[in-house]
Amino acid sequence: MALSSSSAGNNETLEITSPKRRKVSDSDDSVLTVNSDLKDLSHFEFDRILSDSSERKSICLYGSFRNTSGKAIVLLEKKPFDEENVKGLLKNTCPVSQQFFNDIYGNYFCKADADFNEIKATVIHPATEKHVKKYEAQIHHLIEETPNLYETITLPFIQKEQFNLQWITNILEHKSETDRIVCEDTDPETGFVLLPDLKWDGKQIENLYLIAIVRKQGILSLRDLRGCHLDLLQNISKKCVKAIEEKYRFPKSRLRIYFHYQPSFYHLHVHFTNVDYHAPGIHAEKSHLLQSVISNIELMDDYYKKANLMFCVKEGDNLFKEYEEKGLVKKCVT
Ligand code: G7M
């Protein structure tokens, strides 16, 4: 995580500090990241908005950090309310200014204390062009990927161009986020690491979001899953559900457990979210429930080798261009 949330929320007391930088091995240019010692966002020079969402109460900014090479993405999101937070808010003096009232109905703006007004910030630096495309608002298309199209277009594309997986290696090798690990199984075939997703601060159950990253190398995505992986999938399902139940008192029946297809990162991982939370990528065109995946493989060992899989792609994405060049999809003319 880039920024401690307490410093992110308190915009009025930001100090001017020069971001220290650390070399990162996962960048194409091997440039320096501000993430090793970022205290505030005062050095961020904003170029443009990549996307914003009133529904998610988030905004994604593109720019750079002063005196630092490489571009940066800063994603700011308002955090959901929880009971503890609201109790604190109500106990503290929180000035309200009335907008209007009509009979028994009144509208107010409340000036909450910084402690109860935290903003979650995700900083990606140095950000590549591919990161920009991932976070940029764009038109989407659906593509039906046959096994042959996977072999001839998608797979060569993944082999040529994909996000670096250094953050995954760091988690598996206990070099990053070690204190966030919720449950771990070290078996080389069926093992995994379960921890909160980048999108979750690990606190509020309303937007509970964890990921289990498999230990075994070489399973790129759902497409690679076969009968020989059933033990791995069942092990993840059983142990992660138990760990989440124990740590967060959150029952199995309230968990949405799924894969993304296409994922952003081609090293197999499973998403665990609160079923009432509308996390990005939960819709039919992108998510595949773990239980359905297990069931499909139980019925047919090589289901995911033979199935046509739909996936959603942005018009600006290079994978879209690969399919466009073969005449399999067309840009939207408006
Ligand atoms: O779409 P895909 O299935 O590849 O999703 C990858 C998930 O990994 C997303 O939900 C990301 O929020 C999450 N993620 C990405 N990064 C770079 C990190 C990270 O550094 N740490 C953690 N804990 N989760 C990450």
Ramachandran sector of residue 257 (left: φ over 0; alpha: ψ -120 to 50; beta: rest)? beta
Is residue 269 annotated as a catalytic residue, yes or no? yes
C-beta 2 within 6 A of ligand 1? no
Cα-trace Rg, the chain: 22
Domain ranges of the chain: 5-79+119-123, 80-117, 138-325
Active-site hit among 174, 269, 283, 288 = 269
Which CATH code is given to the segment(s) 138-325? 3.30.428.10
Q: Which letter does DSSP use for residue 152 in this model?
A: I
CB atoms within 10 A of CB 163: 17
> Can you give the pTM of this predicted structure?
0.85
| pLDDT tens track, the chain, 334 positions | 332 333 333 332 222 233 344 445 444 455 689 998 899 999 999 999 999 998 889 999 999 999 899 999 999 999 888 888 888 888 877 888 999 999 999 999 988 888 888 899 999 999 999 999 999 988 999 999 999 999 999 999 999 999 999 999 999 999 999 999 999 999 999 999 999 999 998 988 999 999 999 999 999 999 999 999 999 999 999 999 999 999 999 999 999 999 999 999 999 999 999 999 999 999 999 999 999 999 999 999 999 999 999 999 999 999 999 999 999 999 987 6
Q: Is the CB of 263 under 6 A from ligand 1?
A: yes
Residue ID of nearest Cα to ligand 1 atom 21: 198
Pocket flag, ligand 1, residue 264 (CB < 6 Å): yes
Cα 104 to ligand 1 centre (Å): 46
